[in-house]
């Protein structure tokens, strides 16, 4: 071991083993044609200095603990500029095929674990694209996005800092509510957390070992090495203002609305993809919702994140929440096909999981497995947790202003994880007053177009039921009052 070597975090080792190798892809849509003439300079002088991990490789040691070792980076090896067939007006299909190819192409461990793919062809939504691939061993979504946001600049004025959506209103409401609680209520809350912890940790333990989700139209359950199957990447964009209108009407959080809408959309998809499901009992479907465990909600500077004792410390600081999708028997399906039900159930489950110490116990269990049996065993346990569930959902907040990437205004972007052993992964990212929900679906197994259509239908049903209908009712009452 060299003096400057630093150990890879336990979670970083879990996601970079022979049984689990996870990569994060970030797709930027450029509003102007992409010019790659200064790409190498920008990466060398702006991107690499952000964090030592971008200039390091993982090396193994005799004690089995992997280390980060600084190396000289040949940036040219990390920049790819693919060539597509000439003469096409739009290159959506070529871009999709290229991303599908990237989904099964691992990053080489012989050099730092990132690369950038520059797409110089127009699609129906962009004049060009920039695809960043970063290995999950480098950090979680919070860390990697913080680094990319430090790399990006505001399009209107690069000297101004980026701003992000705030949850101050929710925090103030919660703080006012806490002031009303007596010591007795605090005791009840703590008791409830203890009860939730027992049930949550026990169920999580079973889901990670012996209890599998049902075989369904979003989970094969029998296909080996599903993480090596090619992925199609699609997305849908919603207005953040529309989501907030639903949030206010239903009295839930933005996250509750999105997760509930996704659950309802999956319910619609499974009914459409498998028409015979109406004659069967509902399958057991569990989503793994990734939760940032840092004691902060906003991004910090790179200098702050790499400090050893920082609350915003760099790395993989997250936990899985097992959230079951509501299931019904044959008599209940039609009655409970209401999107309200899914949003309220999402709120109920997520709130119960947050008032629980189960995820911390799960993290401690992983560390015990690593200490007793090694990182490979802990990685296998993590893989089993993923493979026994039907899908994973990850949520990241993005800037409110339009950003530019070295002179390229970004009209939109989304991200996706590749290499996790599930047929479906869903990511959520807010940007410029919109929310983009992306779907990484196993090619040939999940119908991406139908899935997107069902999500659109779910959101329309939810918006119609909460905002439009209630506004119509209020208008009719107001009109009736004026007439009388």
Spacing of C-alpha 292 from chain mean position: 11
| pLDDT tens figures, 52-79 | 999 999 987 656 678 899 999 999 999 9
Q: How confident is the model at residue 18 (pLDDT cuts 50, 70, 90)?
A: confident
Nearest alpha carbon to residue 437 among 467, 417, 416:
416
Q: What is the mean pLDDT of the chain?
A: 84
Q: 94 burial class (0-12, 13-18, 19+ CB within 10 angstroms)?
A: middle
Q: How far apart are CA 422 and CA 221, in angstroms?
A: 9
Q: Which helix (H) or strand (E) covers residue 443, if one does?
A: none
Q: Which helix (H) or strand (E) covers residue 120, if one does?
A: none
Q: Running DSSP on this structure, what letter comes out for residue 446?
A: S
Any idea which of 280-289, 372-381, 414-423, 441-450 has the lowest mean pLDDT? Answer: 280-289
At 215, list the tokens. 């075989």
Other C-beta atoms within 10 Å of 226: how many? 18
What pLDDT sits at residue 62?
57
The terminus-to-terminus CA distance of the chain in angstroms comes to 86
Other C-beta atoms within 10 Å of 231: how many? 26
Q: Running DSSP on this structure, what letter comes out for residue 213?
A: P
What pLDDT sits at residue 480?
45
Q: Which helix (H) or strand (E) covers residue 11, if one does?
A: helix 10-14
Average pLDDT of the segment spanning 249-253: 87
Q: How far apart are CA 447 and CA 154, in angstroms?
A: 37
Domains observed in the chain: 168-218+232-396+445-483 (3.30.559)
Which sign does the torsion angle of CA 394, 358, 12, 404 carry? Answer: positive
Whether 284 has a pLDDT exceeding 60, the answer reads: yes
The answer to whether residues 355 and 192 touch, using CB atoms and an 8 Å cutoff, is: yes
Q: How far apart are CA 450 and CA 339, in angstroms?
A: 18
Q: Which of helix, strand or coil describes residue 435? A: strand
Which whole-number Å values give the CA distances from 156 to 161, 404, 410, in the listed order? 11, 9, 12
Other C-beta atoms within 10 Å of 98: how many? 19
Report the share of the chain in percent with pLDDT over 70.
83
Average pLDDT of the segment spanning 126-132: 97
Nearest alpha carbon to residue 44 among 71, 70, 73:
73
Residues 6+ away with beta carbon under 8 Å from 65: 7, 8, 13, 375
Report the share of the chain in percent with pLDDT over 90.
51
Average pLDDT of the segment spanning 337-344: 83
Phi first, then psi: give them for residue 171, nearest 5 degrees. Answer: -65, -40
Q: How far apart are CA 83 and CA 354, in angstroms?
A: 47
**DSSP string covering 21-41, please?**
B-EEEEEEEESS----TTHHH
Residues 6+ away with beta carbon under 8 Å from 327: 281, 282, 283, 284, 285
What pLDDT sits at residue 457?
95
**Which is more confident, 423 or 356?**
423
Nearest alpha carbon to residue 217 among 383, 454, 419:
454
At 390, list the tokens. 């039907």
> Pairing state of beta strands 403-405 and 128-135?
unpaired
What pLDDT sits at residue 295?
66
Hunting for tokens 């028997």 — which residue is that? Answer: 329
Q: How far apart are CA 457 and CA 269, in angstroms?
A: 10
What pLDDT sits at residue 42?
92
Any idea which of 254-258, 329-333, 416-420 has the lowest mean pLDDT? Answer: 329-333
**Which is more confident, 163 or 190?**
163
Other C-beta atoms within 10 Å of 213: how many? 22
Nearest alpha carbon to residue 458 among 444, 437, 480, 479:
437
Q: How far apart are CA 420 and CA 64, in angstroms?
A: 23
Residues 6+ away with beta carbon under 8 Å from 418: 22, 23, 24, 25, 102, 103, 104, 231, 440
Other C-beta atoms within 10 Å of 340: how many? 16
Which residues on adjacent β-strands are paired with residue 115? 133
The dihedral formed by the CA atoms of 293, 295, 300 and 301, expressed in degrees to the nearest 10: -90
Which whole-number Å values give the CA distances from 119 to 27, 344, 363, in the listed order? 10, 42, 39
């Amino acid at each position: 071991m060299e003096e400057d070597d630093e150990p890879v975090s336990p979670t970083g080792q879990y996601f970079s083993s022979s049984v689990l190798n996870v990569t994060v892809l970030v797709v930027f849509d450029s509003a102007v044609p992409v010019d790659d003439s200064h790409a190498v300079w920008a990466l060398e002088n702006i991107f690499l200095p952000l964090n030592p991990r971008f200039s390091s490789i993982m090396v193994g040691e005799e004690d089995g603990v992997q280390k980060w070792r600084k190396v000289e980076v040949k940036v040219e090896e990390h920049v790819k500029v693919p060539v597509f067939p000439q003469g096409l007006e739009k290159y959506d299909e070529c871009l999709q095929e290229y991303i599908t190819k990237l989904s099964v192409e691992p990053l080489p461990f012989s050099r730092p674990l990132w690369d950038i793919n520059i797409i110089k062809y127009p699609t129906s939504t962009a004049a060009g694209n920039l695809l960043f691939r970063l290995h999950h061993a480098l950090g979680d979504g919070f860390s990697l996005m913080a680094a990319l946001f430090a790399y990006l600049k505001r399009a209107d004025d690069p000297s101004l800092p980026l701003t992000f959506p705030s949850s101050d209103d929710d925090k103030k409401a919660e703080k006012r509510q806490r002031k009303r609680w007596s010591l007795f209520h605090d005791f009840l809350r703590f008791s409830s957390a203890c009860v939730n912890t027992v049930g949550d940790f026990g169920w999580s333990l079973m889901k990670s070992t012996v209890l599998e989700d049902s075989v369904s139209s979003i989970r094969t359950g029998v296909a080996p090495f599903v993480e090596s199957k090619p992925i199609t990447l699609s997305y849908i964009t919603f207005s953040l203002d529309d989501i907030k209108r639903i949030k206010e009407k239903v009295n839930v959080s933005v996250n509750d609305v999105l997760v509930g809408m996704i659950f309802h959309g999956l319910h619609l998809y499974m009914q459409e993809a498998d028409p015979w499901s109406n004659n069967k009992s509902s399958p057991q479907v569990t989503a793994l919702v990734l939760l940032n465990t840092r004691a902060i909600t906003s991004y910090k500077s790179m200098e702050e994140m790499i400090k050893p004792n920082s609350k915003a410390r760099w790395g993989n600081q997250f936990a899985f929440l097992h959230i079951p999708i509501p299931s019904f028997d044959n008599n209940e399906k039609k009655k409970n096909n209401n999107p309200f039900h899914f949003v309220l159930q999402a709120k109920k489950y997520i709130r119960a999981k947050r008032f629980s110490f189960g995820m911390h116990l799960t993290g401690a269990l992983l560390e015990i497995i690593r200490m007793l049996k090694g990182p490979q065993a802990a990685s296998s346990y993590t893989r089993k947790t993923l493979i026994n569930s039907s899908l994973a959902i990850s949520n990241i907040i993005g800037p409110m202003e339009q950003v530019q990437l070295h002179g390229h205004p970004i009209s939109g972007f989304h991200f996706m994880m590749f290499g996790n052993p599930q047929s479906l992964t869903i990511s959520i990212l807010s940007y410029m007053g919109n929310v983009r929900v992306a779907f990484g679906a196993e090619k040939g197994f999940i119908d991406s177009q139908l899935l997107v259509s069902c999500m659109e239908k779910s959101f329309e049903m939810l918006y119609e039921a909460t905002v439009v209908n209630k506004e119509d009712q209020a208008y009719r009452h107001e009109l009736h009052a004026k007439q009388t």
